[in-house]
Amino acid sequence: MVELTLVEQQVALDQPGKLQCGDETLDCTVLQFSRKGAQVRLEGELKEADEVFLLIEGFGQLSCRVMDSDGDYADLRFQGDPETQDSVFQELLAQMGDEEGRRRYLRRSVLWPGTLKSGASQMDCTILNMSLGGAKVALSQERDCAGSVILFGDRFDGLEANVMWQRGRVVGLQFKVEPATVARILGDLLPAIKASA
């Protein structure tokens, strides 16, 4: 099985929570979370344990490991494989009222030649699918790809995007421009995408 590498997106939060460690519960504030875990501010002393549970009101409990603890701050790592971590992250975004987390875009499969530009380097790719929110591309050669990129196609001008994940040569992109702008750019190429806007 190929390991999924996710580019970390951290969401700042100021949400009350609880850490359950064995039979004790400790109040905390969730300061930020990402796909892999969360940073919390503790309101008491955290006992050492192999596994703790982070309880967020309205969401439920998440199995975690304490990766680092410094004073009243702790870094937690969510348990599970990368796909599970990503699923939890998306559910948390939706739960916390993040519009981007809730929004779902119709994807259309395509096989278009493209180029991914990252800084001064360019990588040939094949665009596998497109939506108003992003695209999935396959790089012609396996290379690490992270951060901010521009996707060029032979049918459209560049679209700025962030790399959200990479699995081998396959890369998931999230467009930086508004969905309405993407709809204008791709509308004639993919009418079904425009209709779903």
Phi/psi at 42 (nearest 5 deg)? -85, 150
> How large a percentage of the chain has pLDDT more than 90?
15
Ranking 55-69, 116-130, 138-152, 181-195 by mean pLDDT, the lowest is: 181-195
Q: Give the CA count within 13 Å in the CB-facing half-sphere of 16.
A: 5
Q: What pLDDT does 165 receive?
A: 84
Q: What pLDDT does 152 receive?
A: 94
pLDDT average, residue stretch 8-27: 78
Q: Is residue 119's pLDDT more than 80?
A: yes
Ranking 44-53, 147-156, 159-168 by mean pLDDT, the lowest is: 44-53
Q: Which tens digits make up the pLDDT trace of 167-182?
A: 888 888 989 988 888 8
Please work out, in degrees rounded to the nearest 5, the angle formed at the alpha carbon of residue 30 by the alpha carbons of 71 and 6: 105
The contacts found for 17-23 with CB under 8 angstroms, 24 or more apart, are 17/54, 17/55, 17/56, 17/57, 18/54, 18/55, 19/46, 19/52, 19/53, 19/54, 19/55, 19/74, 20/52, 20/53, 20/55, 20/61, 21/46, 21/47, 21/49, 21/52, 21/53, 22/47, 22/49
* Domain map (residue ranges) of the chain: 5-102, 108-195
Instruction: Enumerate helices (H) and strands (E) in the chain, giving the number of each.
Output: 4, 13
pLDDT average, residue stretch 9-30: 81
pLDDT average, residue stretch 20-28: 87
Please give the mean pLDDT across all residues of the chain: 78
Q: Is residue 161's pLDDT more than 70?
A: yes
Is 108-195 the same fold as 5-102? yes
Q: Whole-model pTM?
A: 0.48
CATH of region 5-102, choose from 2.60.40.1180, 3.40.50.720, 3.30.360.10, 2.40.10.220: 2.40.10.220
> How large a percentage of the chain has pLDDT more than 70?
77
Q: Is residue 122's pLDDT more than 70?
A: yes
Q: What pLDDT does 106 receive?
A: 66
**CATH of segment(s) 108-195:** 2.40.10.430
